[in-house]
Structure 1
């Protein structure tokens, strides 16, 4: 079974309030990462119609600061699938409502989620049908990103062995 990419599309919008900001009056990076993980999980659940778990978060590229009083808009959708894994793109925009400026791309990230059955075992997910040529490109280039993640995971496993002992031993 396959599903259109648009079926997983999810939007989350929030005001940036004082508790969300650092001493520069910009959104905490960690707060934004929590928003990204949340909206990506919803997109993954929409696609798989199952429980999901975050398997990896690629780098979060912060392109514009998001200031106190801005509105942050996160758009997520499944862009590539494996057997039980789903790659989700999260696009983050900011908007300053008071001065009427256009939305600006503030950050983006790719995350990988794994679908789980009721016993928390990996569950096969539907394939993807891109809705347009731009989305088709995301799906077609997804395998390259997936391969990069596999290599990164292998390096992480090697580092796990390195860090298994105290650094000063």
Structure 2
């Protein structure tokens, strides 16, 4: 497989889809799970296009639904690889919805999917080095570096934190919880 360095632009993918009544939830808005499915699909396409490999979703960070999406709106998702590790890539996704009648476009979501490149046997494989070509790409890369570092720190804390200690249990009195151990 070719692991020659590649530009961010080689990873870019855009999809648009009209939101139908079959995509809605009980309140008449587009179901968040449907949007997540589309986001996972574009993350896969973006990471696979960049790496030239089959890719799997390792994690999803920061899914904030900023604005509801209505039936009849045109949803557009734009994705690009923002960061690469050895076999992993962070794919940034921006979701907008356009009211076709008024032309008004609203930002609905931005999210980051960590994707891992795999070989035919399911083993992790090295991905190409990322070439950053402008300051916006540098900003996105740097922000991804910070998110990756925070995730590693959070995982380390989770592994070392003794949730059964007296200190931890006493700290729960700050929250709306009652212990019955």
Shorter-chain-normalised TM-score: which range? 0.7 to 0.9
Query: Which runs of structure 2 are paired with 1:30-49 in the superposition (5 Å)?
Result: 30-49=33-52
3-state SS of paired residue (2:79): strand
RMSD between aligned alpha carbons? 2.1
- Residue 44 of structure 1, CA deviation: 0.2
Q: Tell me the CA shift for residue 10 of structure 1.
A: 0.5
- What pairs up with 1:55-134 in 2 under 5 angstroms? 55-101=58-104, 103-134=105-136
What corresponds to 1:165 in structure 2? none
Distance 1:98 1:92, change over 3 A: same
Aligned length: 162
**Counterparts in 2 of 1:143 and 1:25: CA distance versus 1, 3 Å:** same
Deviations 1:52-92 (A, max 9, x none): 11000012111111101111100001000001000000100
TM-score normalised by length of structure 2: 0.82
Question: CA deviation digits over 1:3-52, x for unaligned, max 9?
Answer: 11011000111111011011221110111101111101100001100011
Gaps of 5+ in 2: 165-179
Q: Structure 1's 20 and 154: CA in aligned 2 closer, same or farther, altered over 3 A?
A: farther
Matched residue of 1:62: which SS?
A: coil
Instruction: Give TM-score scaled by structure 1 length.
Output: 0.88
The structure with the largest alpha-carbon Rg is 2
Q: How does 1:119-158 map to 2 (within 5 A)?
A: 119-154=121-156
SS of the residue 1:126 aligns to? coil
